[in-house]
């Protein structure tokens, strides 16, 4: 082979190697300075109020629970429906399961299972590991009543309240052996056959019962001795003529918050009960609610965030400031769109500055019952931008009346949970040196202490990390 040919091949090899190195340098530069990409910026920038809605499959939803990127609705027509809420402005219906024989009254989601108060069928368990195809697993019914409410935190015991129960008002199941083991039964006593709601916190259960003639009672039970029968600590009469009918319960600290729907003598109320002395609870504050809903046997839904209580009523979502327990004050009302027509209220779950609500319309029992999931933004967004310089991400957000901010991140949109820092300034520098991945996508949120808190996912920030340096 001639010298010229050998030299030509050598120079060709050098040129190929040089070109490959140039491509590698360009790739590294691209990874290191990837621009910010907004994830649904239109949704992130939407003002407070209704931002998303999707109809339910079968209509007339009663209760809902939210876990991660999914919302689970149960309805009067015996169905559980799964919605993808990863983009809260566009909830997407996924799978469903239906038992047309009985109504679904309440739902609690723990891991891969949904626990349903299934009316005459008692406590039913559904596998939701595949959100596109939930299915029935097992169930158990005790007594002649109708399962109306469930409280379960994933521990050993699940609590189910029943109306028309006559001695089986509260049924407590050991979930480690469900459905084979015999449950613990708590009876409200002669003359109180209806249990409306059950809510548990630690070793206490909060229970509302009724006599069927306008008499309503709030009870505090000691459940620390389970599987022994719970012990009654204290009670408070809340007659329907003064407070409305049926109660949804939430508890925070020394206070129980109850919403009541209409009765023939009263249209409903929102009641704050002081439970600091468990043997002698008393009403500390009350708000008359002329638009109280009648969903789930006359209990409007509620959820609590700090000193704010959010309620679903017949004309929309209400927010009350309860920092002064004796004088709750309304600070917001997000009305339903006119297109919803006459509604019956619904249930509400608050997550990351958003209210996920189950809306029922028109009135249950009328023709064409239907509804769906509606999503509300509760407070103005704290809008944030990011600028990537090398391995440093400079985050800057809208200044507000907040005095401190928490910065969180996640690999998943709308679900930032990893705390990164706190600051009193509207800015933060994130340094990712030491991360082994060549490129990592993170979603960031900022929460302001005075804004609610507000928690808005605002964009995807791609870090370009080279050799972990």
DSSP state of 326: T
Predicted confidence (pLDDT) per residue in 412-440, tens digit: 655 566 788 888 888 888 876 444 444 56
Which value, to the nearest 10 degrees, does the dihedral of the CA atoms of residues 40, 41, 47, 53 take?
A: -10
The tokens for 118 are 């299934």
Whether residue 145 is predicted with pLDDT greater than 80 in this model: the reply is yes
The pTM for the full model equals: 0.77
Q: Which residue, chain included where needed, has tokens 């009346």?
A: 401
**pLDDT value at position 200?**
97
Whether residue 255 is predicted with pLDDT greater than 50 in this model: the reply is yes
Higher pLDDT: 433 or 375? It is 375
Whether residue 466 is predicted with pLDDT greater than 50 in this model: the reply is no
Predicted confidence (pLDDT) per residue in 174-191, tens digit: 999 999 999 999 998 888
Q: Cis peptide leading into 138, omega within 30 of 0? A: no
34-45+381-464: CATH number: 2.60.40.10
Whether residue 28 is predicted with pLDDT greater than 50 in this model: the reply is no
Residue 465, CA distances (Å) to 29, 162, 468 in order: 10, 57, 6
Residue 8, CA distances (Å) to 3, 274, 410 in order: 8, 92, 53
How many percent of the chain have pLDDT more than 90? 40
**pLDDT value at position 394?**
83
Q: How far apart are CA 427 and CA 387, in angstroms?
A: 11
Specify whether the CB–CB gap between 343 and 357 falls below 8 A: no
Q: How far is CA 308 from the centre of its chain?
A: 15
Specify whether the CB–CB gap between 259 and 300 falls below 8 A: yes
Beta bridge partners of 385: 396
Hey, what CATH topology would domain 49-377 get?
Answer: Methylamine Dehydrogenase; Chain H (2.130.10)
Q: How far apart are CA 373 and CA 72, in angstroms?
A: 9
Tell me the average pLDDT of the chain.
80
**pLDDT value at position 204?**
97
């Amino acid at each position: 082979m001639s010298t010229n040919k050998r030299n030509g091949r050598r120079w060709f090899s050098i040129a190929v190697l040089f070109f490959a190195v140039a491509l590698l340098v360009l790739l590294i530069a691209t990874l290191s300075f990837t621009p910010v990409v907004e994830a649904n910026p239109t949704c992130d920038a939407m003002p407070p109020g209704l931002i998303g809605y999707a109809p339910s499959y079968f209509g007339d939803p009663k209760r809902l629970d939210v876990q991660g990127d999914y919302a689970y609705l149960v309805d009067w027509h015996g169905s559980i429906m799964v919605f993808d809420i990863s983009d809260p402005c566009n909830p997407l219906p996924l799978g469903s399961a239906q038992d047309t024989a009985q109504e679904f009254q309440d739902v609690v989601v723990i891991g891969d299972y949904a626990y349903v108060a299934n009316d005459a069928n008692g406590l039913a368990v559904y596998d939701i590991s595949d959100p596109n195809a939930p299915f029935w697993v097992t169930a158990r019914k005790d007594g002649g009543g109708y399962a109306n409410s469930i409280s379960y935190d994933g521990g050993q015991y699940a609590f189910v309240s029943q109306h028309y129960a006559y001695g089986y008002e509260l049924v407590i199941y050991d979930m480690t052996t469900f459905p084979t083991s015999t449950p613990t039964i708590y009876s409200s006593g002669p003359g109180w056959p209806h249990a409306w709601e059950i809510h548990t916190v630690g070793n206490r259960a909060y229970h509302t019962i009724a006599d069927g003639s306008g008499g309503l009672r709030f009870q505090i039970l000691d459940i620390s001795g389970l599987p022994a029968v719970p012990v009654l600590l204290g009670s408070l009469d809340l007659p329907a003529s003064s407070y409305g009918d049926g109660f949804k319960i939430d508890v925070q600290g020394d206070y129980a918050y109850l919403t009541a729907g209409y009765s023939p003598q009263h249209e409903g109320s929102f009641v704050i009960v002081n439970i600091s002395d468990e043997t002698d609870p008393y009403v500390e504050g009350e708000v008359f609610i002329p638009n109280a809903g009648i969903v789930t046997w006359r209990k409007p839904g509620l959820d609590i965030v700090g000193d704010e209580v959010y309620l679903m009523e017949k004309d929309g979502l209400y927010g009350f400031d309860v920092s002064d327990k004796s004088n709750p004050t309304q600070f917001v009302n997000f009305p339903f769109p006119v297109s919803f027509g006459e509604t019956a209220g619904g249930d509400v779950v608050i997550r990351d500055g958003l209210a996920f609500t189950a809306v029922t319309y028109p009135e249950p029992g009328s023709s064409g019952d239907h509804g769906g999931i509606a999503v509300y933004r509760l407070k103005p967004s704290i809008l944030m931008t990011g600028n990537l310089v090398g391995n440093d991400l400079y985050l800057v957000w809208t200044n507000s009346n907040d005095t401190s901010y928490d910065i969180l991140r996640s690999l998943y949109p709308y679900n930032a949970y990893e705390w990164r820092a706190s600051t009193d300034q509207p800015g933060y520098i994130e340094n990712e040196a030491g991360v082994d991945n060549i490129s990592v996508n993170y979603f960031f949120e900022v929460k302001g202490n005075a804004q609610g808190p507000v928690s808005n996912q605002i964009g995807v920030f791609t870090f370009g990390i080279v050799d972990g340096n």
